[in-house]
Amino acid sequence: MADIREWRGHAVVDEKGHRIGTLESVYVETSTDEPFFATVTVGMMGRRRLAFVPLEGAVAGPGYLQVPFPRNKVRQAPAIGTDDILPATDEPEVFAYYQLPYATGAGGERRLARR
């Protein structure tokens, strides 16, 4: 999955191949610098936002990234504005939405960084 940072602008599809949106950015886990979440551009013109989706289990295909979650789940996921960055205080909500364990670094460091 290290190449995922080069997939910006490609389609993101759900487990059935239905288009969710476009890959906008990748958030890495700060302790490993490994891709952990992606943001997907969703919504209609003028009301676009970046929804978070975990990258575990994602599969890169020719021109798309397939994630193992239904389209509606991703579209309803915690999101930020298209020009925003995830605040550290909102990280636990993103993890909780996908029922992923969350803990800050040993010194209270944030868990995710945008790349």
Question: CA-to-CA distance for 109 and 68, rounded, in angstroms?
Answer: 28
pTM of the model: 0.90
Give the CA distances from residue 81 to residues 57, 59, 100, in Å, rounded to whole numbers and listed in that order.
Answer: 26, 26, 23
The per-residue pLDDT of the chain, averaged, comes to 90
Stretch (H or E) spanning 73: helix 71-75
Residue 2 has pLDDT above 50, yes or no: no
- Note the pLDDT of residue 3: 59
Mean per-residue pLDDT for 22-26? 93
Q: What is the pLDDT of residues 83-103, one digit of tens each?
A: 999 999 999 999 999 999 998
Mean per-residue pLDDT for 49-71? 94
Mean per-residue pLDDT for 53-76? 94
8 A C-beta contact, residue 66 and residue 38: no
